[in-house]
Amino acid sequence: MGQEEEAQSLALTPTWVVASVCLVIVAISLAAERLLHRLGKVLKFNGQEALFSALQRVKEELMILGFISFLLSVCQNLINRICIPESAARIMLPCIEESKAREDAAKLCKRKGEVPMLSEEALHQLHIFIFVLGVVHVLFCVTTLLLGGAKMRTWNKWEKEIQQGRLNEREKRPGWMKPSAVRWIIAFFKQFYNSVGKPDYQVLRSAFVLRHYPNRPDFDFHKYMVRALEHDFKEVVGISWYLWLFVIVFLLLNINGWHTYFWLSFLPLILLLIVGTKLEYISTRLAQEAADCSDEASGNPWTKPCKEHFWFSHPRAVLHLIHFILFQNSFEMAFFFWVLATYGFDSCIMENRSYALPRLAIGIIVQVLCSYSTLPLYAIVTHVRSRYTINFTKNTA
């Protein structure tokens, strides 16, 4: 009796049930679409073209996730009819347990002595995972923008103080801070508490205005930095092909006993610490060079391009790393919440609690540190002294 109820088709379902479910789904979908459309109009009205482009990229990624879910639904029967040897179905399992789906394998595969490649239950859980991935990715993008905006509000306070003539002199470095090894150590710890201090902000601002707007000492450098952050944010909200490749590799290697999910959670943290330290080091060097510049009187400070301070003289490589860090972190959090909702906290996929809780803590730390410190730091380091900056400022002045 229970099996017949579970297999009940749409033809045997009351019409009011079908209509009610469709009404709720369509209403939620239209409300979300109208909300995004309205948000896009507000961004365009306020002249925030970079954020509008970022919103368009988010909508494109949601469309891709929806199309993937659509393909899974349409191809469900076809996938269920693909049979594989039972021995192959026991290779590279996330959990060493006999699932109910294997016991209720399709009759077609049973006659061949095989099992379905992917059961209906597994397809349903995959649908849920795609939905959770989309929701978490959007929420983390919003969190990144909000935390970056919070950092910018601190810079706005400094901008007002500077324009009012309340300046802070940049202290000269003592001799023990001059060795390169010491500067790297200081840069590592500085990213946690004061990624860009007011003296450094003041020096970088003064040098930027002197180079690009020598006749406008009241130039709103904070507003320019907000636009720069929005431009960089547009680059890190999408899901590129290599990020999808990472998802596939992760799903492939999530094998019982390997603790892949636990060890992989350290990857964004390690990359973030390396990138943050590098950007802090560059920021300190730029501020020092600006303060010690010998040709400021000629109105042409910073004769060397900023990109020479980056790995391979390629600043965008750092932005790609930040993009990977943010996506990988949101993917791991999506996987965590999906496992929690689908299988529970004590499931074999979640593994031991001693593994699960550190992953959650690492994910929160990475999101906050990258959004509040690393991404704004990248914005000021790259846009304050590059050829691209000159073209960009013309659109924001």
Q: Is the dihedral of CA 236, 240, 243, 247 positive or negative?
A: positive
Q: How large is the angle between the packed helices 387-394 and 375-383, nearest 10 degrees?
A: 100
Average pLDDT score over residue span 260-270: 83
Q: What pLDDT, on the 0 to 100 scale, is given for residue 97?
A: 58
* pLDDT at residue number 303: 45
Q: What is the mean pLDDT of residues 71-78?
A: 74
Q: How is residue 251 written in tokens?
A: 């799903």
The per-residue pLDDT for range 27-63, each reduced to its tens digit, is: 888 888 888 888 888 877 777 777 777 788 778 777 8
pLDDT tier for residue 5 given thresholds of 50, 70 and 90: very low
**230 vs 52: CA distance, rounded Å:** 9
Please report, rounded to a whole number, the percentage of residues in the chain having pLDDT higher than 90. 5
Closest CA to 309 of 289, 292, 326, 293: 289
Q: How far is CA 182 from CA 179, 205, 246, 339, in A?
A: 5, 26, 36, 43
Residue 296 has pLDDT above 60, yes or no: no
pLDDT tens digits along 326-353 = 988 988 888 888 888 887 777 777 766 7
Instruction: Please name the amino acid found at residue 315.
Output: P
Q: Residue 1: its pLDDT value, please?
A: 42
pLDDT beyond 60 at 378: yes
CB neighbours (10 Å) of residue 248? Answer: 9
- pLDDT (0 to 100) of residue 394: 46
DSSP per residue, 232-280: HHHHHSS--HHHHHHHHHHHHH--TTT-HHHHHTHHHHHHHHHHHHHHH
Q: Is 28 exposed, middle or buried (0-12, 13-18, 19+ CB in 10 A)?
A: exposed
